[in-house]
């Protein structure tokens, strides 16, 4: 094993003298965490809604008052009064407003007659997030309008929601994926790209003429790559926890568990990378694969969106994606502060994945040029 | 026992045969050169002898170990400097040597002494702590020479050790190799496409072209093995059509090659042939444009055995030997 340690020593000495590599592998995940975290995390506000009152009766005035109240409360909508429905629709089509709330002429009469009074929302549905928020707000508003003023005994079943954990902002939801991403970045830049560049420069010829065995060589590269990726993951875990505001980020027990998951993730990803690169000689290849791998590993993992919403083929990718298990474990530890019992299956999968990938890489590795 | 024994070795990449049944032996303690243009098969040969490529057929025994069946024994007893500069640029000179000492399993108590001795031998002691990226090309090559010797190998392979170096650095590397060889019990095999390098550095030279061994002997014997002790290179302004035949009739002329107005005359007696040549030209009223007399060089030997000048072969060949990549 002393030859394996010689490879590790060489790689780490080089790593220590490449501060740019360290910075580059950290910048992307941190920027992604901050920008995506705050871009997706906030509630949609100040949607412009044109209100066309063609009724002018007391009930119609009440609807308009409720719209104004929603505007001054949650500020989801900003109502704009229109007298000409044609003008409101033109503004909607030109993107000046997000929706038109039309109170039809018979609205007051139907309210008084209890004859299915209706108001219409015509909305710009090209932005799904906006249209869902708009419809949700106005449905809630009309729900409040239809509610009788006082009722001693409710005659409808209601749902009381109890939240087990404190509110999780989106930036915290993204953090597990960002830690995986920082590990992946270091695996690709500090592992894959350097490995192939060294091969192309002829550095590996120097190794192959020594008595080192295939296993010692692969183990040396894997071990050094894992150490580098673990350092990257630890830095992002610390910085990311502070940025995202994870409660009590330095709880020692949780730090130990996080360290174990980071090591398992780094080992799995470096093993995967060597399996993919073991026969590659073209330095452009790891760079070309970078984007594809990034997309294939990160997005199906549930790091940005729940996997339950994926189509079947994507769920199949997610099932074998090591990111899935790493993200699941990090979510448990960071957002729920669970123990090992909640992440045992994740660690088991990552370990099996690593052993299988590394064995396959060693078998495919050629001891000659 | 020979340090290296190569018998009928062949290497093919698909339908391309890079090395065609080559046989040669290298004595212990000699500096042996493989001379030929890029693409001649030199690097493929050296890669087979250093276990980097398996031969298609034939055998190679290095230090008594078969390169296929006892590859590990070969690797333990040889030092190899590949054609490319392969030192770690970010590491210091000393660290480069240290990592390789560990890869070869040099005992801890020997490492320090060995590395210090080698750095002194390649005159890099004062640069020991410097990162390799701060050194010149010649110094980097010296780092690699020291690195290849860090486990005290008995046979040292160098693939084009001076390619890309300036003339002063090249001479420095030659002197260093000769000095190191004298100080150690070492056999050296190197490849080169520089004739002066093969001539000045090697005890014996094998001329390789198109994967075949064309000639093998000491540089002196190779030079005397071909016709003529001198080569007269002469050009005329407008030579008549039968001028070549006239040149062949001059005293001591052994052969005439050339075309149009430039001729290369191999002569057993350069001065006598030159005198007669000048008289014949004056008599026929043919102005001599230029004239030079040289002793026979390895280039002449190369022309004799391969039918083309090495410098032409270098221009024809690809810039680097990528033959090893064809099996991918």
pLDDT in tens, B175-215: 888 888 888 889 999 999 888 888 889 999 999 999 999 99
Judgement on whether residues A47 and A34 belong to the same structural domain of the protein: no
- Asked, for residue B148, whether it belongs to a domain, the answer is yes
* Å between B96 CA and nearest CA of chain A: 8
Residues of B in contact with A203 (CB under 8 A): 86, 88
| Structural domains in chain A (count) | 2
Q: Is residue A154 pLDDT above 70, yes or no?
A: no
Judgement on whether residues A116 and A186 belong to the same structural domain of the protein: no
What is the per-residue pLDDT across A326-337, written as a single tens digit (0 to 9) for each?
999 999 999 988
Nearest CA in chain A to B326: A369
Judgement on whether residues B106 and B178 belong to the same structural domain of the protein: yes
* Å between A279 CA and nearest CA of chain B: 9
What is the per-residue pLDDT across B230-282, written as a single tens digit (0 to 9) for each?
889 999 888 888 888 889 999 989 888 887 888 989 888 888 999 999 999 99
Judgement on whether residues A185 and A289 belong to the same structural domain of the protein: yes
- Asked, for residue B58, whether it belongs to a domain, the answer is yes
Contact (Cβ atoms closer than 8 angstroms) between residue B84 and residue B48: no
Judgement on whether residues B143 and B113 belong to the same structural domain of the protein: yes
Mean pLDDT for A353-369 is: 91
Read off the tokens for A142.
Answer: 């009309």
Judgement on whether residues B48 and B194 belong to the same structural domain of the protein: yes
Q: Is residue B320 pLDDT above 50, yes or no?
A: no
Mean pLDDT for A328-355 is: 94
- Asked, for residue A59, whether it belongs to a domain, the answer is yes
**Does B38 contact A at CB distance below 8 Å?**
no
Judgement on whether residues B233 and B103 belong to the same structural domain of the protein: no
**Does A17 contact B at CB distance below 8 Å?**
yes
- Asked, for residue A157, whether it belongs to a domain, the answer is no
| Structural domains in chain B (count) | 2
Report d(CA A61, CA A276) in Å as an integer.
67
Nearest CA in chain B to A17: B90
Judgement on whether residues A333 and A226 belong to the same structural domain of the protein: yes
* Å between A275 CA and nearest CA of chain B: 17
Judgement on whether residues B49 and B181 belong to the same structural domain of the protein: yes
Write B284-287 long-range contacts (CB < 8 A, 24+).
Answer: B284/B240, B284/B246, B286/B236, B286/B237, B286/B238, B286/B239, B286/B240, B286/B243, B287/B236, B287/B237, B287/B238
Q: Is residue B321 pLDDT above 50, yes or no?
A: no
Report d(CA B47, CA B327) in Å as an integer.
13
Judgement on whether residues A13 and A78 belong to the same structural domain of the protein: no
Judgement on whether residues A240 and A337 belong to the same structural domain of the protein: yes
Q: A277 lies in which domain range?
A: 2-40+167-364
Judgement on whether residues A353 and A235 belong to the same structural domain of the protein: yes
Judgement on whether residues B55 and B127 belong to the same structural domain of the protein: yes
* Å between A321 CA and nearest CA of chain B: 30
Q: Is residue A353 pLDDT above 60, yes or no?
A: yes
- Asked, for residue A158, whether it belongs to a domain, the answer is no
Most confident among A149-153, B300-304, B322-326 (mean pLDDT): B300-304
Judgement on whether residues A232 and A127 belong to the same structural domain of the protein: no
Judgement on whether residues A321 and A341 belong to the same structural domain of the protein: yes
More confident residue, A73 or A219: A219
More confident residue, B190 or B303: B190
Binary contact (B102, A281; C-beta < 8 A): no
CB within 8 Å of chain A, chain B residues 130-169 = 131, 147
Q: B162 lies in which domain range?
A: 4-219
Judgement on whether residues A31 and A58 belong to the same structural domain of the protein: no
* Å between A211 CA and nearest CA of chain B: 6
**Does A368 contact B at CB distance below 8 Å?**
yes
* Residue where a domain stops, chosen among A142, A159, A175: A142
How many beta-carbon contacts under 8 Å exist across A and B? Answer: 76
Return the DSSP state at A250.
T
Return the DSSP state at A342.
G
CB within 8 Å of chain A, chain B residues 305-324 = 324
What is the per-residue pLDDT across A21-60, written as a single tens digit (0 to 9) for each?
778 777 888 888 888 888 876 778 889 999 999 998 888 9
The CATH number covering residue B208 comes to 3.40.50.300
Contact (Cβ atoms closer than 8 angstroms) between residue A239 and residue A181: no
Label residue A130 by pLDDT band (50, 70, 90).
confident
The CATH number covering residue B245 comes to 3.30.70
Record the pTM. 0.80
The CATH number covering residue A60 comes to 3.40.1710.10
Lowest average pLDDT, out of A293-302, B177-186, B211-220, goes to: B177-186
- Asked, for residue A155, whether it belongs to a domain, the answer is no
Judgement on whether residues A109 and A213 belong to the same structural domain of the protein: no
Q: What percent of chain A has pLDDT over 90?
A: 49
Binary contact (A206, B100; C-beta < 8 A): yes
Label residue A137 by pLDDT band (50, 70, 90).
confident
Q: Is residue B322 pLDDT above 70, yes or no?
A: no
């Amino acid at each position: 094993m002393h030859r394996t340690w010689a490879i590790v020593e060489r790689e780490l000495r080089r790593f220590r003298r490449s501060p740019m590599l360290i910075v580059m592998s950290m910048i992307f995940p941190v920027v992604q965490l901050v920008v995506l975290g705050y871009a997706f995390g906030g509630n949609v506000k100040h949607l412009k809604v044109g209100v066309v009152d063609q009724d002018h009766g007391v009930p119609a005035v009440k609807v308009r008052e409720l719209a104004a109240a929603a505007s001054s409360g949650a500020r989801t909508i900003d109502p704009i009064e229109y007298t000409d429905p044609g003008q409101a629709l033109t503004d909607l089509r030109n993107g000046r407003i997000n929706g038109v709330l039309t109170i039809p002429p018979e609205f007051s009469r139907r309210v008084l007659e209890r004859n299915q009074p209706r108001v219409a929302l015509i909305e710009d549905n090209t932005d799904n997030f906006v249209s869902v928020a708009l419809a949700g707000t106005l449905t809630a508003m009309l729900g409040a309008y239809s509610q009788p003023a006082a009722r001693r005994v409710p005659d409808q079943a209601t749902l009381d929601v109890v939240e087990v954990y404190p509110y999780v902002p989106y930036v915290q939801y993204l953090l597990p994926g960002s830690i995986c991403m920082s590990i992946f970045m270091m695996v690709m830049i500090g592992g894959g790209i350097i490995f192939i560049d060294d091969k192309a420069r002829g550095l590996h010829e120097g190794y192959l003429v020594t008595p080192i065995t295939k296993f010692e060589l692969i183990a040396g590269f894997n071990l050094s790559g894992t150490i580098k990726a673990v350092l990257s993951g630890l830095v992002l875990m610390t910085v990311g926890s502070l940025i995202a505001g994870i409660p009590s980020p330095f709880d020692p027990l949780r730090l130990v568990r996080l360290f174990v998951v980071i090591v398992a993730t780094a080992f799995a990803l470096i093993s995967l990378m060597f399996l993919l690169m073991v026969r590659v000689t073209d330095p452009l290849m790891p760079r070309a694969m970078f984007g594809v791998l990034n997309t294939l590993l990160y997005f199906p993992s549930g790091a940005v969106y729940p996997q339950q919403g994926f189509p079947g083929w994507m769920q199949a990718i997610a099932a074998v994606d090591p990111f899935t298990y790493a993200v699941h474990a990090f979510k448990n530890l960071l957002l729920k502060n669970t123990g090992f019992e909640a992440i045992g299956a994740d660690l088991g999968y990552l370990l099996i994945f690593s052993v299988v990938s590394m064995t396959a890489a060693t078998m495919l590795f050629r001891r000659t040029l | 026992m020979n340090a290296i024994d190569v018998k009928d070795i062949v290497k093919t990449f698909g339908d391309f045969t890079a090395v065609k049944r080559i046989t040669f032996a290298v004595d212990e303690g000699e500096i042996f050169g493989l001379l030929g243009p890029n693409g001649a098969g030199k690097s493929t040969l050296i890669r087979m002898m250093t276990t980097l490529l398996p031969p298609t057929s034939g055998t190679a025994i290095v230090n008594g170990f078969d390169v296929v069946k006892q590859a590990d024994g070969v690797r333990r007893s040889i030092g190899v400097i590949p054609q490319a500069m392969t030192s770690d640029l970010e590491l210091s000179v000393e660290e480069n040597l240290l990592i390789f000492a560990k890869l070869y399993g040099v005992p801890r108590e020997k490492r320090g002494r060995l590395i210090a001795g080698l750095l002194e031998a390649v005159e890099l002691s004062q640069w020991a702590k410097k990162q390799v990226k701060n050194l010149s090309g010649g110094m980097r090559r010296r780092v690699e020479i020291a690195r290849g010797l860090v486990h005290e190998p008995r046979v040292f392979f160098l693939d084009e050790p001076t390619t890309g170096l300036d003339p002063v650095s090249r001479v420095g590397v030659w002197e260093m190799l000769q000095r190191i060889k004298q100080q150690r019990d070492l056999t050296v095999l190197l490849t080169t496409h520089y004739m002066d390098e093969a001539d000045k550095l090697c005890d014996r030279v094998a001329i390789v072209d198109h994967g075949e061994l064309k000639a093998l002997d000491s540089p002196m014997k190779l030079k005397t093995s071909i016709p003529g002790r001198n080569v007269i290179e002469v050009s005329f302004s407008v030579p008549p059509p039968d001028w070549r035949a006239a040149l062949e009739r001059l005293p001591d002329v052994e052969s005439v090659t050339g075309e149009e107005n430039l001729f290369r005359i191999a002569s057993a007696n350069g001065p006598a042939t030159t005198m007669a040549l000048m008289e014949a030209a004056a008599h026929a009223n043919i102005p001599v444009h230029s004239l030079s007399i040289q002793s026979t060089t390895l280039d002449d030997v190369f022309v004799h055995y391969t039918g083309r000048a090495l410098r032409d072969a270098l221009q024809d060949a690809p810039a680097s030997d990528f033959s090893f990549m064809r099996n991918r």
